[in-house]
Amino acid sequence: QATKDAGAIAGLNVWRIINEPTSAALAYGLDKNLTGEKNVLIFDLGGGTFDVSVLTIDEGSLFEVRSTAGDTHLGGEDFDNRMVTYFTDEFKRKYKKDLNSPRALRRFRTACERAKRTLSSSSEATIEIDALHGGIDFYTKISRARFEELCMDLFRSTMEPVEKALNDAKLDKSKIHDVVLVGGPTRIPKIQKLLQDFFHGKELNKSINPDEAVA
């Protein structure tokens, strides 16, 4: 109902609501010029939740959600947390002080989130926070390789719901025609690489801004 209300407030005539995986598939025009059926896997990794859906689209643009899987406690915030822990330890080692002020931690988290985004397009990110805590200016760097190391178990865990969704849909991965990325954290190169390797090098649908694909 909230989605319908938002549409009405925006001045739209709301005819019906479609589910998010179908919306993402439509954004890529995957229902266009079909001959026969097409199987699509939607990999939707958000800030705090992760969903994988398998859909089948037929020639009449009918969408059937075959399966869904995921993790309601996995997302970009978990990657931020790993970085925050890593750098608070570094701060403690360097300055022999605990970073326990809520305001300092908030600033720290914001800087780590920004660094994570930078590492999707650069091999290194700089963190610079003036007067972080007790008058200390905190300047440091993190490489993409180190970030990947910190989060590798989380990145790898995204493959389990992919396998489960395929099993529940009774489809082999070779039968998936398109893989669609949704959500900001899918910009992370290592996540794209793991997914591409899982699907034997298949090109991923990522040309649309993943933050807006569903909208």
- Amino acid letter, residue 145: A
Q: Are residues 142 and 181 in the same domain?
A: no
Please give the residue range of the domain that contains residue 140. 76-152
> What is residue 185's DSSP assignment?
G
Give SS3 for 137: strand
Is the domain of 144 the same as that of 179?
Answer: no
Neighbouring C-beta atoms of residue 156, cutoff 10 Å: 12
Report yes or no on 191 lying in a domain.
yes
Residue 206 lies in a domain: no
Predicted confidence (pLDDT) per residue in 192-211, tens digit:
999 999 999 999 988 777 66
The pTM (predicted TM-score) of the whole model is: 0.89
38 and 81 both lie in a single domain: no
Domain count, the chain: 2
β partners of residue 201: none
In a domain, 53, yes or no: yes
Q: What's the CATH number where 40 sits? A: 3.30.420.40
DSSP for 45-109, written as a single string: E-SS-EEEEEEEE-TT--EEEEEEEEETT-SHHHHHHHHHHHHHHHHHHHHS-----HHHHHHHH
59-112 confidence digits (pLDDT tens): 777 888 999 999 999 999 999 999 999 999 999 999 999 988 999 999 999 999
